[in-house]
């Protein structure tokens, strides 16, 4: 990630229900524009040294936002709607009983119902007893199935909007 003085940085909280924070880059401490950046936050907080993570976005170019204005991300459409930030969590429970390992993956969103999927692994009689391997295989299979369930749900939602069957490539 690179920035220049005057760029706007947006940080979406990784905490469930956390707020989106924006600020203006007031100093870049490297010649190539890489972090850290000194940022003046629009909420009136003290300037802070920022090492942006994957939850941060930099909008290049001069912006005329006033403190407290919402920043519009490029490509948000003609309405200039503010960016949507959502936190989804995947809960993964792994059960081991002898040579059998099962995993249950649940996608938790703000929807009233959650999507879930299962995966399993079975250790053969001659295999070494390494529980982590069964955990990894069962978890991977549950997550792969969960991804397919999520794609199927999205296809159903699109079909409901468009009024015809939809298939999304896997």
**Does residue 106 have a pLDDT over 70?**
yes
What is the spatial distance between Cα 166 and Cα 157, in angstroms, rounded to a whole number?
A: 9
Write down the pLDDT at residue 79.
55
| Domain 89-162: CATH architecture, name and number where available | 2-Layer Sandwich (3.30)
Q: How is the chain split into domains, by residue range? A: 8-59, 89-162
The predicted structure's pLDDT at residue 57: 83
**Average pLDDT value for residue range 71-99:** 70
DSSP string, 75-90: T-TTTTPPPP----EE
């Amino acid at each position: 990630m690179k920035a220049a003085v005057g760029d706007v940085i947006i940080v979406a909280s990784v905490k469930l229900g956390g707020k989106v924070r924006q600020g203006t880059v007031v100093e870049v401490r490297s010649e190539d524009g890489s972090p850290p950046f000194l940022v003046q936050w629009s909420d009136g907080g003290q300037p802070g040294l920022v090492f942006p993570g994957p939850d941060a976005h930099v909008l290049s170019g001069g912006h005329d936002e006033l403190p407290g204005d919402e920043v519009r991300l490029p490509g948000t459409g003609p309405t200039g709607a503010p960016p949507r930030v959502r936190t989804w969590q995947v809960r993964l429970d792994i059960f081991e009983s002898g040579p059998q390992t099962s995993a249950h993956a649940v996608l938790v969103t703000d929807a009233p119902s959650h999507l879930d999927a299962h995966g399993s692994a079975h250790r053969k009689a001659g295999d070494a007893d390494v529980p982590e391997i069964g955990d990894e295989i069962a978890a991977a299979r549950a997550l792969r199935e969960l991804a397919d369930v999520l794609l199927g749900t999205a296809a159903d939602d699109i079909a409901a909007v468009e009024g015809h069957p939809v298939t999304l490539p896997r």
